[in-house]
Structure 1
Amino acid sequence: MNKAAAVELVEGFSLEMTGKDVPGLREAAPVIPQGTKVNVTFLGNEDLEMRVAAAQAVRELGFVPVPHISARRLASQDQLEEFLGRLQQVGASTHVFAVGGDPAEPEGPYPDALTLIQSGLLQKYGVAEVSIAGYPEGHPDIAADVLWRHLDEKALALAQQGLGTTILTQFAFDTDPVMTWIDQVRARGIDAPIRIGTPGPAGIKRLIGFARRFGVGANAMIVKKYGFSLTNLMGTAGPDRFVSDLSELLARDPAHGPVGLHFYTFGGLLATSEWARDYLAAQA
């Protein structure tokens, strides 16, 4: 294994949490490197106060909050501006993740992340960098050509507004579609940093459930390649093999540009942070 490439991929990882995960973040804080980006989700069962409090806790613990803004969950421009304004008040508006969101029908004037970006409101509240979504294995409800067109349009709109861009992907089990997708992104002239989503250590049943929900491949061959078996659903799995294989493939061609990791923690902030610490220590 190429240990230097593995370290380069894992160092500077980012994490994901929900508004309910603040106690878990406090518990994990001593293990998480200061300055780590921590994304805060925008779920339908959480309210403004919970989201803002979580983003504020991230900052106060010495990390960089990246609050999600779910376009389709916003009922009005006023609701968007209230959220951005509250984030700015607690020093948590510099980095955001603009995403379409789950509702089948938009609850207000923003049907997708592109509309959110084109509103021109982000800079007004101090946003300097916007993460946008990438889908190496596609999206169960959106055609591939639409995903690519929106990625192009979002990257262009952010560049025209002078905003930094990071592409953050849905989690993956298989390095092959990830590498193909990275090549396609770069071939389109998009040179923004990419963070490949991967699950932190979690129960196998839970991983497969999330994979099916998001349309990510979870067939027998792919999960075997990731490092667990469908015949042992009671066990847990970590991303060791996926991360090692991905770093090896990235090291073969520097044209892939800046690529890092984003961990979906499923509430396991401490377990994920300990995994990253121990993985990096093993490469020393």
Structure 2
Amino acid sequence: MAQSAGRGISVDDIVRNASIEVIPLKGAEEKAAIVPTDTTVTVTCSPRFGLSRTLDHVAAACRSGHRVVPHLAARMVEDRKDLRHFIQKISDLGVDELFVIGGDGEEPVGRFGEAAEILQELGEFDHGLSTTGIGCYPEGHPKISEDALFDALLRKQQYADYMVSQLCFDASAMAGWLRSARDRGVTLPLRIGVAAPLRVRKLIEISVKIGVGRSVRFLSKQNGMVSNLLLGRAYEPMDLLTAIRKEISFADLSVEGVHLFSFNQVDATLDWLSRASGVEEAG
């Protein structure tokens, strides 16, 4: 990844290394197909749709020539056989990267209850994966304490190559959490998870469909954001990234990229990426 001369890693640098997340809803295959093939597409999974839906959309993105990263939720995997089946399916598609999360299901469908258990199981067989990512929670988790989250992250990092933050709208929370993570011994490179430009009505529709209403409540933490969106204005990710960059050094704290939650508004996401590329932050 190129660096701006004399300035370390800039916002422009991490935007160039952005991935775009799509949700396997109806029409998502066509949306993912328009993403440039040099931009990574990630495909989520949820208890509402099952792992087979994720695999279907991963296959479609592979057919359109994309580098694809499937999400795998531990709570959706029944047993060792089910895990190996999933890994074999993505391997057959030429996929060599996986993003492992705990998942949103209230109860595990089988023996796996958290991401660390999947990661440990992956270490027991020749899976063919070259890169593995895990999630992290700079703004906390409603059901898990901060200390427990850090403990889990430290256990998982020995099996992982990078981490992606949950949807974030608070620059100070992100910067403070990352400093704390490094002090606690978390060394994984970070890809900052941010919402792509979006309209609040569409966000609410998608959130209801996939059962992640918390995403809507995150918006209320950003002063003025809700009123701007209700007036028809789009959220601007660059403002958040620039604010984070003013608080921390991306190079010193190992920030390597951006993960864009598109909420399947891929056209708007690509338009923003096109405009954002080459834009240097002030200061």
Matched, 1:184 2:185: no
SS in 2 for 1:111: coil
Distance 1:203 1:254, change over 3 A: same
User: What's the counterpart of residue 111 of structure 2?
Assistant: 109
Distance in 2 separating the partners of 1:101 and 1:109: 13
User: What's the counterpart of residue 44 of structure 1?
Assistant: 47
Distance 1:231 1:175, change over 3 A: closer
Deviation by residue 1:107-126 (Cα, 9 ceiling, x = unmatched): 10001000111113575221
SS in 1 for 2:68: strand
Moved more, 261-270 or 203-212: 203-212
Deviation by residue 1:63-98 (Cα, 9 ceiling, x = unmatched): 321111110111222221111111111112x11111
SS in 2 for 1:202: coil
Distance in 2 separating the partners of 1:96 and 1:267: 20
**Alignment equivalent of 2:243, drawn from 235, 242, 245:** 245
Matched, 1:276 2:283: no
User: What's the counterpart of residue 92 of structure 2?
Assistant: 89
Distance in 1 separating the partners of 2:163 and 2:51: 25
Deviation by residue 1:8-49 (Cα, 9 ceiling, x = unmatched): 1211101111223111112x32xx3x3322211112233444
Query: What runs of 5+ residues in structure 1 fail to find an aligned partner?
Result: 159-163
Deviation by residue 1:239-276 (Cα, 9 ceiling, x = unmatched): 1311222233334x742123321000001112112101
AA of the residue aligned to 1:223? Q
Distance in 2 separating the partners of 1:150 and 1:66: 22
Matched, 1:223 2:219: no
| TM-aligned CA deviation for residue 184 of structure 1 | 1.6
Task: Percent identity, please.
Answer: 24
AA of the residue aligned to 2:53? M
User: What's the counterpart of residue 76 of structure 1?
Assistant: 79
Matched, 1:173 2:169: yes
Distance in 1 separating the partners of 2:257 and 2:228: 31
Correspondences of 1:22-41 after superposition (within 5 Å) = 22-26=29-33, 28-29=34-35, 32=36, 34-41=37-44
Correspondences of 1:95-134 after superposition (within 5 Å) = 95-120=97-122, 124-134=126-136
User: What's the counterpart of residue 264 of structure 1?
Assistant: 261
- After superposition, the CA RMSD in angstroms is 2.7
Count residues in correspondence: 267
Q: Is the 8 A contact 1:72 1:108 kept in 2?
A: yes
SS in 1 for 2:132: strand
SS in 1 for 2:13: helix
